Chains A and B, each alone.
Chain A
C-alpha cells in the first residue's frame, strides 16, 4: 500500500512540475490530464499485477528448496 501511495505522489509531482510550461494546443483545454491519469492507472495496475506474479513465483521457488 505504501508503494502505491508513493508512486501516486511521484506521478502527481511530475504532472505538476510539467504543467508550468507554455500552453500548447494539446493542453489548452486542460483535459489532457484526464488521459494522463488514465494511462497512469492502467500502467499502475499492470505493474501491480507483475509484482504479485513475482511474489507468487518467489513463493514457489521457496517451497521447492
Chain B
C-alpha cells in the first residue's frame, strides 16, 4: 500500500505514455490536414513536450514561491531540478520541432514568432542555470535562484504563449490567424490521444525530476556530514 501511495503517478505515467505512443501511431486521422498529412501524428509526440514543459516549469515556479515563503533545502532542490527537467523537455520539443519543420516547411528554423519566443525564453533559463553555477554561498544561491525563477516563468509564458497569439501571422496553430487544431474535421478523436499524452509525459518527467531531487538531497546530506566530521 505504501508503495502505491508513493508511486501511483509513476505507474499512471507509464500506462498513459504507452497508450499515447501506441494509439498515436494507429489512430485514424482527419482527411483535411493539408501539407501535414501523416505527420500530424507529431501532435501526439512533439506538442506534449511543450505543454508538459510549461506544466513542469510551472511546478518549479510554485516550488520557488514556496521556498521564498518558507525556505527549505527540499523546495530549493525541487525547484531547480524541475526546471532542469523542464528545459530537457523543451529541448526535446525544439529538436523534434526542427526536424518536423525541415520536412514540412522546408527549413529547420523559420522566423515564426513562436520559435523566436522560445529561443529568447531558453536564453532566460540559461541565465537561471548560470546563476545557480556562479554563486558559491548556498543560502544566497538558493534565494537568488528562487527570486529569478519567480520572475522568469511569467516572462517565459509571455514570450511563448502571449506574444505569438498577438503576432500578425504565424504558422503555428493557435497563433495569429493561423489554423487551429479545432478547425480540423471534428469527427476525429485526436484529442483522446493528445490530452492524455500531455499528462503522461508530464508525469514521466516529474518522475525523473523526483529521482534527481532525491539524489541531490543525498549528496547535500553527505556534504553536510563531511563538513561536520
A→B interface (CB under 8 Å): 7, 10-11, 14-15, 18-19, 21-22, 24-27, 32, 35-36, 39-40, 43, 47, 50, 53-54, 57, 60-61, 64
Contacts and interface: CB of A to CB of B under 8 A. Distances in A.
Q: Which applies to chain B's interface (DSSP): helix, strand, loop or mixed?
A: helix
Interface of B: 7, 10, 14-15, 17-19, 21-23, 25-29, 38, 207-208, 211, 214-215, 218, 221
A14 B26 CA distance: 10
A7 B28 contact: no
B14 A40 contact: no
B13 to A, nearest CB: 9
A64 B21 contact: no
Contacts of B211: 50, 53-54, 57
27 contacts: A7-B14, A10-B18, A11-B18, A11-B22, A14-B19, A15-B22, A18-B23, A18-B26, A26-B38, A27-B26, A32-B26, A35-B25, A36-B21, A39-B22, A40-B21, A43-B17, A43-B21, A47-B14, A50-B207, A50-B208, A54-B7, A54-B207, A57-B211, A57-B214, A57-B218, A61-B218, A64-B221
Contacts of A40: 18, 21-22
